[in-house]
């Protein structure tokens, strides 16, 4: 099955993800695995990484949305992977059925998991994958 890109401009969406991750309160950006092929920008809050981003993938942790993400991973393993401990990996650029709005919501959820005083910002509260199904 051919991979279809959900985001019309992958480079712009990658830049948007960087901006989104840095927009949350108290976020520090670092580099993980510097100098290796898996070198990633790491976004931390309270000393804990909530997202890892590189041009070919985004990784974040979920809790409340993990069941939905796991269901999507089972049905679309080329588009999303849900692993141990709630960590979810999205290959970039995004492919169907993953929608950019879900990614924004999930990144906000990951941030909130590591920042106990935070709630997901209203701008990142997208529809859940279930809301999309008919």
**pLDDT, tens digit (0-9, with 9 covering 90-100), for 57-111:** 999 999 999 999 999 999 999 999 999 899 999 999 998 899 999 999 999 999 9
Domain that holds residue 33: 10-120
43, 21 Cβ separation under 8 angstroms: yes
What span, in angstroms and rounded, lies between the C-alpha atoms of 19 and 96?
A: 23
Give a yes or no: residue 125 inside a domain: no
The model carries a pTM of 0.80
Length of the chain measured in residues: 134
Q: Residue 87 belongs to a domain with what CATH number?
A: 3.90.1150.30
User: Pairing mode, if any, of strands 27-32 and 57-61?
Assistant: unpaired
The CA-based dihedral angle spanning residues 72, 77, 83, 87, taken in that order and rounded to the nearest 10 degrees:
-60
Backbone φ and ψ of 121, nearest 5°: -65, 150
State how many domains the chain has. 1
């Amino acid at each position: 099955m051919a991979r279809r890109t959900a985001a019309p401009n992958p480079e712009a969406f990658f830049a948007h993800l960087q901006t989104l991750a840095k927009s949350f309160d108290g976020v520090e950006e670092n580099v993980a695995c510097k100098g290796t092929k898996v070198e990633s920008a790491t976004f931390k809050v309270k000393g804990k990484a909530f997202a890892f981003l590189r041009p070919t993938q985004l990784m974040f942790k979920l809790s409340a949305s993990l069941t939905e993400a796991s269901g999507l991973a089972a049905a679309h393993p080329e588009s999303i992977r849900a692993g141990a401990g709630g960590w979810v990996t999205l290959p970039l650029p995004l492919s169907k059925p993953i929608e950019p709005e879900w990614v924004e919501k999930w990144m906000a959820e990951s941030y909130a998991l590591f920042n106990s005083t935070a709630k997901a910002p209203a701008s990142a509260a997208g529809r859940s994958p279930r809301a999309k199904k008919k």
